[in-house]
Structure formats: structure tokens, C-alpha cells
Structure 1
């Protein structure tokens, strides 16, 4: 289990690592009550970056959301 502050630090580290990766739409924090995780939104399930299972004990959850378009 990861607290919110640990998740924020881990998100910052992972977001910096993935900043220029066009396969990634976004990096956020999910969960509540001391059970936080980092959520990575991807463009495609077939072309995904190599991600660890966790960063500093904060689990990483992957969601394929597709390409995001401006409206």
C-alpha cells in the first residue's frame, strides 16, 4: 500500500521518464485511503513502453485509452 505523498513522488519520476513517449497519453494517480497507484494511459495495447510493476512500492496500472483528439 502506498500513501498519497509517496504516489505523488513516484508519479513525478515516471512522468518525467515517459514525457517524450508518444505511446503514452498521460500519467496520473488513482486509488484512495492509503492504497494509491500510478495510472499510465496508453495509445495502443500492441505498442507499449517497457514499464516496471511499481516505483518505490507504488503499483503501476496500465489502461489503454486510445489516441486522444482535440475537439
Structure 2
């Protein structure tokens, strides 16, 4: 179980590590049943393989969301 402060620190660490990689479209925090975790939105399965399942003991949930485009 990770508290909010731990999840925030893990998010910053993960953002520095993978935030600029091709296919990573967003990194945020997520409320879990037993605390907090990090959520990483990726474009495809290849990008998902590049993201670790945990960071500093905090769970990471990887979600394939596809390509994000602005409307208009």
C-alpha cells in the first residue's frame, strides 16, 4: 500500500525516466483500493512494454489508450 506522498514521488521519478519516450501519452496518479498508485497511458502494447510495473515500491497501472488527438 502506498500513500499519496509516495505515489507523487514515484510519479515524478517515472516521468523523468519514461515520460519523453515515444508512445507514452500521459502519467498521473490513481486511487487504488489500498492507497495510491501511478497510471501511465500509452499508445500501444510496444510502449507498454517499456514501462515498469512498480516504481520505488509503488504500483504502476499501464493503460493502452491509443493515439490522442485534439478535436477541432
Q: Work out whether 1:35 is the aligned partner of 2:30.
A: no
Structure with the largest fraction of helix: 2
In structure 2, runs of 5+ residues without a counterpart are none
**Structure 1 length as normaliser, TM-score?**
0.86
- Structure 1 stretches (4+) deviating beyond 4 angstroms? none
In structure 1, runs of 5+ residues without a counterpart are none
Does the aligned pair in 1 maintain the 2:51–2:62 contact within 8 Å?
no
Alignment of 1:1-71 (within 5 A): 1-31=1-31, 35-45=35-45, 47-48=46-47, 49-71=49-71
Higher deviation after alignment, 33-42 or 6-15? 33-42
What is the distance in 1 between the residues matched to 2:24 and 2:62? 10
How many correspondences in the alignment? 70
**Structure 2 length as normaliser, TM-score?**
0.85
